[in-house]
Amino acid sequence: MAVSGAGRAPGSDRVKRGFDLLAAGVGLALLSPLLLAMAAWVKLDSPGPVFFRQERVGRFGVTFRIHKFRTMRVDAERHGQLTVGADARVTRAGRVLRKTKLDELPQLIDVLSGRMSLVGPRPEVPRYVAHYPDDVRAKVLALRPGITDWASIRMIDENEILGGAADPERAYVERVLPEKLGYYVRYADSHTLLEDVRIIFATLTKIVSR
């Protein structure tokens, strides 16, 4: 699925990468006690590993295994990759971690490794990247995927939207995914470091307000 992509100017990319490295390194150092506490909570709350590692499509279509705190039973993906409404597969700890988006914090590891950025289009599973129009796929996959973006903020209750659909899979492909892609394309066309900082603060504000 690898694709070629022009991306942005090399200097702009280096600045963004430098910001990512600094912020992710500082974030992991400062948040390490919280991360350890959440890891212990996940482990004690239900059988299985601390991390959920799932294949996602990264920059230029190269796949990688994302880091998230596990929020579901270990066999959850056998019953589909979408989380819909009050999904019975979600654990007690997982409900809190998902609501607050704290399950995403281990992706700071992926930022340090260079597979992700703090801000950028969210990395999708191959199944749904296959639905990207060709021109959109080339533009979106020219960027490193991010932990957060405008789509993540404005569609934070996506699972509740899908929970009200008669066919969640179809609703995701036909309604939710196109809206996300619109945000991704606009970000790809005009993102700046200042925009990234705005998105980070908007994300934190949204999480605190919940």
Any residues with CB less than 8 A from the CB of 202 and at least 6 apart, and which?
150, 153
In a domain, 107, yes or no: yes
| The pLDDT value given to residue 124 | 97
| The pLDDT value given to residue 1 | 57
In a domain, 2, yes or no: no
Any residues with CB less than 8 A from the CB of 171 and at least 6 apart, and which?
161, 162, 165
| Residues of the chain falling short of pLDDT 50 | none
In a domain, 176, yes or no: yes
Q: How far apart are CA 186 and CA 99, in angstroms?
A: 26
In a domain, 126, yes or no: yes
| The pLDDT value given to residue 65 | 97
In a domain, 143, yes or no: yes
- Angle at the Cα of 94 from the Cα atoms of 72 and 48, rounded to 5 degrees: 45
Residue 50 lies in domain: 10-209
| The pLDDT value given to residue 208 | 85
Structural domains counted in the chain: 1
| The pLDDT value given to residue 79 | 67
| The pLDDT value given to residue 75 | 81
| The pLDDT value given to residue 113 | 97
| The pLDDT value given to residue 159 | 78
22 sits in which H/E element: helix 10-45
In a domain, 3, yes or no: no
In a domain, 5, yes or no: no
| The pLDDT value given to residue 122 | 97
Q: How far apart are CA 93 and CA 44, in angstroms?
A: 9
| The pLDDT value given to residue 32 | 96
